[in-house]
Structure 1
Amino acid sequence: MMKGTEPMAETDKDIRWVQRFENFCRAFGELELAIEIDTPSRVERAGLIQFYEMSFELAWKIMKDYLEEEGYEIQSPRAAIKQAFQSGLIADGESWLKALKDRNLTVHTYDEATAMEVERRIRTTYFPNLTELHTTFQGMIQK
């Protein structure tokens, strides 16, 4: 289960990325539970993908909010990912861009074979990326 989700100091709650991080933690927690299901049914797989979509959406918006606070102008998820990589917030910009592509694919289409392939990538790459982002921002809040 998630570690380090203590309540934030009152001053932190006024910072946009910190507010959004609270929502991310909830979605990420649901994704974490879905990941624990080793052989999901079709419905469970669809839920896992939905929790991934929510977590990913909040993740890029956290990056955007944080980077804007740092003085960058961010206009899109792609721009947020690229700048987050350049700024050292994320380690693997390429896999985040692939995650964006998959998020866009799963939002607009549903095909069981595609869903199974996206599930594999969520488990092997995207969930670890989201976990790393969670750890990074949790560390910033605890400072």
Structure 2
Amino acid sequence: MSNFQKKAENFEKSVSRLQEALEEYNLNKSTTVRDGAIQRFEFSVELAWKTAREYLIEQGFLDLNSPKTVMREAYSYKIINDERTWIQILNDRNLTSHVYDEKTADEIFVRICTSHMQALKELSEYFSEN
């Protein structure tokens, strides 16, 4: 199994775990469940860009050192459909790691539910098909 395949498998699992957390939040709207979902989001985003980097390296790309560089190349290579959404995902991931307050957490959680989760699922599906 290649590095890409291992990362893709772990990424797929992390997206499933994030989906489980979002479903749990719909049943039990507690801040503890929300915070757990945000933590799973952080982990999924890390795996997303690292898996994309591994895929692009296998395709012959070089100089893929930062998450934003990787996702811009993923967009140019048609791995992702919406570069702006992915830049927002990366920015939100950085915010959740470095700045924490309830208002920010709530805003990011809404974006996870309304757009980020879909983008993560689409990327996971792309990797499972390629």
What is the aligned-residue identity percentage? 38
Partner in structure 1 of residue 53 of structure 2: 64
**Residue by residue, what CA displacement relative to the aligned partner does 1:80-106 show, whole Å, maximum 9, x if unpaired?**
000000000000011100110110000
Matches within 5 A, 1:106-117: 106-117=96-107
Shift of 1:26: 2.0
Q: Distance between the aligned counterparts of 1:26 and 1:137, measured in 2?
A: 12
TM-score of the two chains, using structure 1 as the length reference: 0.86
Matches within 5 A, 1:25-104: 25-36=12-23, 37-38=25-26, 40-73=29-62, 74-104=64-94
Please, which runs of 5 or more residues in structure 2 have no aligned partner? none
Q: Higher relative contact order by CA 8 Å / sep ≥ 6: 1 or 2?
A: 2
Task: Indicate whether 1:20 and 2:7 are aligned.
Answer: yes
TM-score of the two chains, using structure 2 as the length reference: 0.94
The letter for the 1-side match of 2:115 is T
Where in structure 1 do 4 or more consecutive aligned residues deviate above 2 Å? Answer: none
**Residue by residue, what CA displacement relative to the aligned partner does 1:9-61 show, whole Å, maximum 9, x if unpaired?**
xxxx1x21111112112211110101112262111110000000000100000
RMSD (Å), alpha carbons: 1.0
Task: Indicate whether 1:120 and 2:105 are aligned.
Answer: no
Higher helix share: 2
Please, which runs of 5 or more residues in structure 1 have no aligned partner? 1-12
Q: Distance between the aligned counterparts of 2:29 and 2:129, measured in 1?
A: 32
Q: Distance between the aligned counterparts of 2:13 and 2:61, measured in 1?
A: 27
Aligned length: 127
Partner in structure 2 of residue 3 of structure 1: none
Partner in structure 2 of residue 9 of structure 1: none
Q: Distance between the aligned counterparts of 2:122 and 2:10, measured in 1?
A: 16
Q: Distance between the aligned counterparts of 1:83 and 1:28, measured in 2?
A: 22
